[in-house]
Structure 1
Amino acid sequence: MHSRSVPNYWLYRAKTGESEDFWLHSETLPERSRLHDWEISLHRHEALFQLFVVKEGEGELLGPVGRVLPFKAPCAIYIAPGSVHGFRYSHDADGLVITVLADRLSSLGASDPSIAAYLATTRVTALEPNETDCGRLAALASGIHEELHAARPGGEIILDAMVTEAVLRLARTGAKTDRRDDIPASRERDRQRTSALEALVAAHCREHRPVGFYARKLGLSAGHLNRLARRETGASVQELATRHLLRAARRDLVFTPTPVQAIAYSLGFQDPAYFNRFFKRRTGMTPGAFREAERGKLVG
């Protein structure tokens, strides 16, 4: 079927019928599929993207030129804007279908290249039960459906946040799966070690630990760990620790009333004067000047 002959629907075989401020729709998977005997013919949504969270059953995602992609619960299906697609479902299929205006994707894709790459193409992503992002995605889909139909005060703001989180968690899960499929096992092991290092640095940066401390925790030599860190993050282990310290310092300076001297001690600096020099060397400002400038922006 030529792409120009594929019908472009707002929702499948539905007129817009929505208020001018429509941006989100949610329904159960059987709600529309049952009407069409569990088979949805090829169509597209030029101005929308869709997120299917399939909780039961299985089926096939149909694409142009006879493309067929099987899927089985639990999984998530992302339909990119304008993507030609259709479905064949088993009669026990169940889950949720969330439809969103495509203009919401621009800011999400700008957050990270791997997110943008995932969102550019229609995908099927298996949801692993023990993966945090996967479990959170299923809960978010249920929360979106419930909140949308409850019409409670503040619902639009909550829905906006939940949809953003759901899309990002799906894209993050998909990007992680793509990396596992595309890179050698040794590279995946290095990525896992880097993630573990980042978590250790976040937990211990205030203790000003040497590289050897982190190396022992990960079962590597200090030299190997530094080479790994530079290759995967572009920074040495000590530079990663410094970044975490600066992030914590900035947050405390702007959002707490804690005196600069106390912040210095909380970050593991024995001498507040040294903390001042450290902070100015990294930011070009003293902690006090930074606090004053950033709080001025918040007031303004």
Structure 2
Amino acid sequence: MTAGEGKLIGDETAGKPFSAPCAIFIPPDAVHGFQFARGSEGIVATVLADRLALPRASDRAFSEYFTKSRIVPMEGETAGEAAHLQRLFPQLLEEHGNAAVLGRDWLLDMHVTEILVRLARVGVRTSTPEPQGSSSSDSRRLLALETLIAAHFREHRPVAFYAEKIGVSVAQLNRIARREAGASVSRLLARRLIDAARRDLVFTPTPVQAIAYSLGFQDPAYFNRFFRRQTGTTPGVYRETQRRRLAS
């Protein structure tokens, strides 16, 4: 936010006040609203939840930071990061408008990741203690798992494939995933597939059948059932609902 002030409305009925210069982070699925004073200005960037995977996997403190709505002041001790963010947001908008330029999606991912990391740096203290039972080796294994999932999720590999690559048993890998990420390996794989499907459904004109094949599903009908089981709705209904929401 570059000018003005307002309140972030969420679980607290009174709302949390904010004023420029600041940045506001809203996590996926958070119920929220805003009350802006007249004359307020700023940039709004909406990204799909899978963009959080890499920064969240890289550091447990970052992972915790991204679970809650945050109001990040951009002045005083945070002025250095603010200068970087003031440069990154315009670059993100400019690159987003270059639809036909080679490498556009890669650069968008890089800009989004850097913005998220710099926002988290402001609020995360390096001395934040790790949760009981966690270890640096398990954190590294989770990061390795996230990296492998990003590379192979379209291949529908069994959990044993990831366990072998990381050098642990299937049971141990599932214990690490549940402790470090709050979900089993199978659940993390399903989330990655659903995140990719959601992105393609909302932001591309690709037919649902083609999206199913691109995500490694041999049977589009099974993809429909998988998507509905994970989200509670069909791919077609999800696409229509989300596009109507974005248009409004």
With the length of structure 2 as denominator, give the TM-score of the two structures. Answer: 0.56
Call closer, same or farther: CA 1:193–1:102 in 2, change over 3 Å.
Answer: farther
Call closer, same or farther: CA 1:208–1:172 in 2, change over 3 Å.
Answer: farther
Alignment: residue pair count = 175
| Cα contact 2:224–2:234 (8 A) shared by 1 | yes
Larger strand percent: 1
Taking the aligned partners of 2:116 and 2:220, their CA distance within structure 1 comes to 43
| Cα contact 1:254–1:291 (8 A) shared by 2 | yes
| Cα contact 2:154–2:215 (8 A) shared by 1 | yes
Q: 2:225 aligns with which of 263, 277, 282?
A: 277
Q: Following TM superposition, by how much is the alpha carbon of 1:278 offset from its aligned partner in structure 2, in angstroms?
A: 0.7
Q: Following TM superposition, by how much is the alpha carbon of 1:186 offset from its aligned partner in structure 2, in angstroms?
A: 6.5
Q: Following TM superposition, by how much is the alpha carbon of 1:114 offset from its aligned partner in structure 2, in angstroms?
A: 3.3
Which amino acid counterpart does residue 231 of structure 2 have in structure 1? T
Matched, 1:232 2:180: yes
Taking the aligned partners of 1:166 and 1:279, their CA distance within structure 2 comes to 30
Consecutive unaligned residues in structure 1, runs of 5 or more:
1-20, 24-99, 126-136, 148-153
CA RMSD of aligned residues (A): 4.2
Q: Following TM superposition, by how much is the alpha carbon of 1:280 offset from its aligned partner in structure 2, in angstroms?
A: 1.1
Taking the aligned partners of 1:260 and 1:168, their CA distance within structure 2 comes to 33
Q: 1:169 aligns with which of 118, 138, 141?
A: 118
| Cα contact 1:230–1:236 (8 A) shared by 2 | yes
Q: Following TM superposition, by how much is the alpha carbon of 1:292 offset from its aligned partner in structure 2, in angstroms?
A: 1.3
SS of the residue 1:177 aligns to: coil
Q: Tell which structure's C-alpha radius of gyration is larger.
A: 1
Q: Following TM superposition, by how much is the alpha carbon of 1:234 offset from its aligned partner in structure 2, in angstroms?
A: 1.4
Q: 1:205 aligns with which of 153, 156, 160?
A: 153
For CA contacts below 8 A with separation 6 or more, give which structure has more relative contact order. 2
Q: Which residue of 1 aligns with 2:165?
A: 217
Range moving further from structure 2, 238-247 or 283-292:
283-292
Taking the aligned partners of 2:159 and 2:125, their CA distance within structure 1 comes to 28
Q: Which residue of 1 aligns with 2:22?
A: 104
Q: Which residue of 1 aligns with 2:127?
A: 178
Q: Following TM superposition, by how much is the alpha carbon of 1:239 offset from its aligned partner in structure 2, in angstroms?
A: 0.5
Q: Following TM superposition, by how much is the alpha carbon of 1:232 offset from its aligned partner in structure 2, in angstroms?
A: 1.1
Q: Which residue of 1 aligns with 2:204?
A: 256
Which amino acid counterpart does residue 22 of structure 2 have in structure 1? R
Q: Following TM superposition, by how much is the alpha carbon of 1:168 offset from its aligned partner in structure 2, in angstroms?
A: 5.0
| Cα contact 1:207–1:268 (8 A) shared by 2 | yes
Q: Following TM superposition, by how much is the alpha carbon of 1:102 offset from its aligned partner in structure 2, in angstroms?
A: 6.6
Q: Following TM superposition, by how much is the alpha carbon of 1:220 offset from its aligned partner in structure 2, in angstroms?
A: 0.9
Call closer, same or farther: CA 1:182–1:267 in 2, change over 3 Å.
Answer: closer
Taking the aligned partners of 2:133 and 2:80, their CA distance within structure 1 comes to 29
The percentage of aligned residue pairs carrying the same residue is 51
Q: Following TM superposition, by how much is the alpha carbon of 1:289 offset from its aligned partner in structure 2, in angstroms?
A: 1.3
SS of the residue 2:135 aligns to: helix
| Cα contact 2:163–2:173 (8 A) shared by 1 | yes
Taking the aligned partners of 1:249 and 1:102, their CA distance within structure 2 comes to 36
Q: Deviations over 1:88-136 (max 9, x none)?
A: xxxxxxxxxxxx967726x34x65753789x79xxx99xxxxxxxxxxx
SS of the residue 1:178 aligns to: coil
